[in-house]
Each structure stands twice: as C-alpha cells, then as structure tokens.
C-alpha cells in the first residue's frame, strides 16, 4: 500500500469496519464490574417475596376501632416467619425487613408508641398499609430488569444478586499486547546513553488500555530490525486479541512496521490528515486489529484516545464508543494547521454562562506536558486564524470529577 492520507472520519470508519465484539463468556458477580452485559435478565419472582415491615415497630390492624391500647402478642424478626396472627386489640413486635404477621395491615413505628407492661399505647393514628412494603413492590416476577448491552455498575450488580444471578453472560476485556520499538529506546530504570531516550509510551499506553477496559500485556522494547519485529509481532498476536506498537511508522529507513504488517496481513491505512498522529498504520493480521502508533508520546496517546480506545470499547461490547463532545469558545486566538485537522489539548471550564477553552501551552507532539491537566481535545479544522471567542468542538477526555 502506498502512502495515501485519509481524513480522521475515514480512519474511524475503516477501523470500525474491522473490529467487532469479542464472544461473550460467563462471569461471576465479583468479576463483572465495568463489563457489558450480553443477555437480558428478568426477575424470577416477586421482590420482596413477602409483605415486609419497613421500620421497627408494632404490627397492627389499622381499621381496629378499639382505643389505641393493644395487647402485645408476640415477636417478628427479620429472617423468621411470624408465629402469631394479629387480631383487633393486639399488636406484635416486628423488626425492619421482617414479614408482616398474618392479620396485620400496618406497622406503627416504635417512636410513635409507649410500652406499658403487657400493653403498647399508640401515640398517633395509623392508616392501612403504613410502613409496609408489599410483596413484589420492588420487582415483579418476570419483569425485565437488565437488558443486553447495559454496563454493569454497582446498582446493576446489586440487582443481579437480588434475583439470584451469581453468573451472567458478559463481554470479556480485550487482551492488548503493547510493544515499543526503536533502537534509541531504553527502559525507564536505565540511564539513557548519549543518543537514547526512555520508553514512556509503553507505560502510558498500558495505563490508557486499562482505563479503556482492556487488559494490557507489556511485551518490552524491540529494536528497529525486521526479523526481531516480525518475531515480536507474531508472538504478541498469539497471546493477545489486539496489538499496539509505537514508533517506526514514519518515512525513515528504519521504519519497518508498515511493510511488516503488510506482509503479515492487510494494511487498511497508514496516514491520517491530522495533527498530532499523522503517521499511524492500522492493519489486521489473522483478523486481529494492529494499531501501529507514532513514536512521539503525545501522538501515541492522542491516536490511542481517538481510535484505539473506541475500538477496545467495541470489542468489550460497548455501543457508546466515543467520548462526549460539547461546543466551547476559545479563551484566546488559535492558529490552525493549514492542511490537517488538529486535536489541541485544552482545559475546558465553565465561566459565567458559557464553557471556555484554553490550550495547555506549546503543542509539540513530543511534549507530554501538553497532555497534563488537559480535560479535552479541541477538534480544530484547517483554516485561517481563529479569534478569541470563536466556537469550536471539545471532545471531553476525562470525567468532571477527575479535575
Ligand atoms: P518514530 O515514530 O519511531 O519516528 O519516533 C518519533 C519520536 O518518538 C522519536 O523522537 C522517538 O525517539 C520517540 N519515541 C519513539 N518511541 C518512543 C517511546 N517508546 N517512548 C518515548 N519516545 C519514543
Ligand atoms: Mg523510530
């Protein structure tokens, strides 16, 4: 494949055409947090299964027109079926969550009573149904409670436990092999030689994969040698569902990744008209997606954010793949790139009645500091300078509570 440059939207479409959800598996409830459910779940029975008291107090017959003095006739505890029947003139002690004894139709709170020996005096009138949670009032038998495609959070998992589903069908996390490439790249714990730099990409990408719901697999640094790269790529694809590499996708004579992927599989594109992240090769090898990201640390993370994260989410069964977007206004003038769409790292904040964006300073694709504190990427199409106040689109890359 030659070096055809495609638009970001076209890159998105070519990736999505090749990526599909992984086959669902059965998971136990302690393994499902954050996963996407792959089946519909119904309540098997009414919940609560019995009419229950919602307070600690006295089970009574509300319509009882005897004075507000009742004979104590027994105890009802959570976890026990009541042994007494409540009739007019009597009251049975019940605890929160305990079944309502037969005959009773309301519960008077302890706070609304005074005990006098074998009697209880009710200090206020009681209506039928008061402080009683009827059978089936939370969930009705056969009711659809969770639908395939829902993301399993605390409430969803609580509901699964409530209806007795200790195992459910859900999507697994994609296993993502991460390789750094480059003769100049060394481990973070090493002291770089005169022409070397430390590997930041693999550690940054592992964290990004984890945040996106994937399971990262760190496969080290590979030198710019075709045989070594080929061996590493094949080994990675044996162990993982997805491959991410960084470096070696530009025009240099040591940039072997593109030709290698073309040899091993199909390259779907290798240039995107965007900044940062123009050199970016997407291929499939044996049907497995391979994202060959540029080596510059910001380019690698921005390309991950825009393309790899949504792909991993799709594999994990998500249907909402993109981050939320919102219109914002520029706090200061901005010079767009003359030909490429730029994804500008920015801080978006509410000021007065509007949302405003300021960039994080110098936007060099090597300057990781430009990602620091950024909660948005501004999508800036090519064109003439944009004056302060111009409306642009912000892609929100972190959640508000993370700032
Ligand atoms: P490349 O895409 O291989 O042309 O690399 C572009 C730039 O990114 C070069 O300055 C590399 O030294 C740098 N680079 C490549 N790989 C890494 C890495 N794993 N961590 C940090 N910088 C890298
Ligand atoms: Mg290189």
Q: What is the DSSP string of 261-282?
A: HHHHSEEEEEEESEES--EEEE
Q: Give per-residue pLDDT as tens, 104-141.
A: 999 999 999 999 999 999 999 999 999 999 999 999 99
CA of 299 to the centre of ligand 1 (A): 10
C-alpha closest to that of 202 among 171, 247, 170, 262: 247
What is the chain's mean pLDDT, rounded? 96
Element (H, E) at 93: strand 90-94
**What pLDDT, on the 0 to 100 scale, is given for residue 76?**
79
Average pLDDT over residues 365-369: 96
Q: Let me know how long the chain is.
A: 403
Give, using CA atoms, the residue closest to atom 23 of ligand 1. Answer: 295
Residue 63 burial (CB < 10 Å; 0-12/13-18/19+)?
exposed
**What pLDDT, on the 0 to 100 scale, is given for residue 284?**
98
C-alpha closest to that of 197 among 161, 247, 163: 247
> Is a pLDDT exceeding 90 seen at residue 402?
no
**What pLDDT, on the 0 to 100 scale, is given for residue 20?**
98
Angle at 248 between CA 243 and CA 249, to 5 degrees: 80
Give the burial string for 319-340 (b: 16+ CB within 10 Å, else e). Answer: eeeebeeeebbbbeebebbeeb
Q: Give per-residue pLDDT as tens, 139-183.
A: 999 999 999 999 999 999 999 999 999 999 999 999 999 999 999
Q: Give per-residue pLDDT as tens, 53-69.
A: 999 999 999 987 767 88
CA of 324 to the centre of ligand 1 (A): 30
CA of 244 to the centre of ligand 2 (A): 15
Contact 76, 131 (CB under 8 A): no
**What pLDDT, on the 0 to 100 scale, is given for residue 68?**
85
Which of 246, 258, 270 for a ligand 1 pocket mutation test, highest count of atoms within 8 Å of Cβ? 246
Rg (CA), the chain: 31
Which of 178, 179, 180, 182 for a ligand 1 pocket mutation test, highest count of atoms within 8 Å of Cβ? 182
Angle between helices 257-264 and 226-239 (to 10 degrees): 50
52-133: what fold? Molybdopterin biosynthesis moeA protein; domain 3 (2.170.190)
Give 378's pLDDT tier (boundaries 50, 70, 90).
very high
CA distance 358 to 331: 5
Q: Give per-residue pLDDT as tens, 196-209.
A: 999 999 999 999 99
CA of 294 to the centre of ligand 2 (A): 8
CA distance 276 to 294: 9
Which of 247, 281, 367 for a ligand 1 pocket mutation test, highest count of atoms within 8 Å of Cβ? 247
**What pLDDT, on the 0 to 100 scale, is given for residue 337?**
97
Among all ligands shown, which has an atom nearest to the Cα of 224? 2
CA distance 403 to 18: 35
C-alpha closest to that of 249 among 272, 218, 231: 272
CA distance 195 to 268: 33
Domain ranges of the chain: 8-22+172-315, 25-46+138-170, 52-133, 325-396
Provide the edge-to-edge strand list for the sheet that holds 288-293. Answer: 5-6, 266-272, 279-285, 288-293, 242-246, 175-181, 215-222
Q: Which two tokens stand for residue 174?
A: 């994609």
8-22+172-315: what fold? Molybdenum Cofactor Biosythetic Enzyme; Chain A (3.40.980)
Give, using CA atoms, the residue closest to atom 16 of ligand 1. Answer: 295
Contact 239, 217 (CB under 8 A): yes
Among all ligands shown, which has an atom nearest to the Cα of 247? 1
**Does this chain's domain 8-22+172-315 share its CATH topology with 52-133?**
no
Using alpha carbons, list the distances in angstroms from residue 282 to 183, 325, 395.
22, 25, 22
CA distance 197 to 189: 11
Domain 325-396 architecture: Beta Barrel (2.40)
How does strand 354-359 pair with strand 341-351? antiparallel
Looking at per-residue confidence, does 326 or 402 come out higher? 326
Residues lining ligand 1, judged by CB closer than 6 Å?
Answer: 180, 182, 184-185, 197, 199-202, 246-250, 252, 294-297
**pTM of the predicted structure, to 2 decimals:** 0.94
Q: What percent of the chain has pLDDT over 90?
A: 92
Backbone angles phi, psi at 263, to 5 degrees: -70, -40
Among all ligands shown, which has an atom nearest to the Cα of 202? 1
| Residue 249 CA, closest ligand 1 atom number | 2
| Residue 254 CA, closest ligand 1 atom number | 3
How does strand 376-380 pair with strand 288-293? unpaired
Give, using CA atoms, the residue closest to atom 11 of ligand 1. Answer: 295
Half-sphere exposure of 183 (CA within 13 A, CB side): 10
Q: Which two tokens stand for residue 68?
A: 């507000």
CATH number, domain 25-46+138-170: 3.90.105.10
> Is a pLDDT exceeding 70 seen at residue 27?
yes
Q: Give per-residue pLDDT as tens, 271-291.
A: 999 999 999 999 999 999 999
**What pLDDT, on the 0 to 100 scale, is given for residue 78?**
85
Q: Give per-residue pLDDT as tens, 303-359.
A: 999 999 999 999 999 999 999 999 999 999 999 999 999 999 999 999 998 999 999
**What pLDDT, on the 0 to 100 scale, is given for residue 74?**
82
Average pLDDT over residues 291-296: 98
**What pLDDT, on the 0 to 100 scale, is given for residue 403?**
65
| Residue 221 CA, closest ligand 1 atom number | 19
> Is a pLDDT exceeding 70 seen at residue 268?
yes
| Residue 184 CA, closest ligand 1 atom number | 12
**What pLDDT, on the 0 to 100 scale, is given for residue 80?**
87
């Amino acid at each position: 494949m030659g070096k055809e440059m495609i638009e970001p939207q076209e890159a998105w479409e070519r990736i999505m055409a090749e990526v599909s959800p992984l086959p669902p598996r059965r998971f136990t409830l302690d393994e499902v947090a954050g996963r996407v459910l792959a089946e519909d779940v119904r309540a098997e029975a009414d919940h609560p299964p019995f009419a229950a008291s919602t307070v600690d107090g006295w089970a009574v017959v509300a319509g009882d027109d005897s004075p507000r003095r009742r004979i104590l006739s027994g105890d009802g505890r959570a976890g026990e079926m009541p042994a007494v029947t409540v009739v007019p003139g009597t009251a049975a002690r019940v605890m929160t969550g305990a079944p309502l004894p037969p005959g009773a139709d309301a519960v008077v709170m302890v706070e609304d009573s005074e005990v006098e020996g074998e009697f209880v005096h009710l200090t206020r009138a009681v209506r039928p149904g008061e402080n009683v949670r009827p059978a089936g009032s939370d969930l009705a038998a056969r009711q659809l409670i969770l639908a395939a495609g829902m993301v399993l959070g605390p409430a969803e998992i609580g509901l699964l436990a409530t209806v007795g589903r200790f195992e459910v069908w859900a999507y697994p996390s994609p296993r993502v092999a991460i390789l750094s490439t480059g003769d100049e790249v060394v481990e973070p714990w090493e002291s770089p030689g005169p022409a070397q730099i430390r590997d930041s990409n693999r550690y940054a990408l592992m964290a990004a994969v984890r945040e996106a719901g994937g399971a990262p697999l760190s496969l080290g640094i590979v030198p710019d040698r075709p045989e070594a790269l080929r061996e590493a790529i094949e080994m990675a694809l044996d162990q993982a569902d997805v491959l991410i590499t960084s470096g070696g996708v530009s025009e240099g004579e040591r940039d072997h990744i593109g030709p290698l992927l073309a040899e091993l599989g199909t390259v779907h594109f290798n240039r995107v008209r965007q900044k940062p992240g123009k050199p970016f090769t997407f291929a499939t090898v044996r049907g497995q997606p391979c994202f060959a990201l540029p080596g510059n640390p910001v380019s690698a993370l921005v390309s991950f954010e825009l393309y790899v994260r949504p792909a991993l989410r799709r594999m994990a069964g998500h249907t909402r793949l993109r981050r939320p977007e919102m219109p914002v206004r520029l706090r200061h003038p901005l010079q767009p790139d003359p030909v490429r769409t730029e994804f500008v790292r920015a801080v978006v904040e509410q000021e007065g009645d509007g949302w405003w964006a300021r960039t994080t300073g110098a936007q060099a694709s090597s300057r990781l500091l430009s990602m620091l504190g950024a909660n948005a990427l501004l999508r800036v199409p090519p064109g003439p300078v944009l004056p302060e106040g111009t409306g642009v689109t912000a892609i929100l890359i972190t959640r508000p509570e993370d700032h």
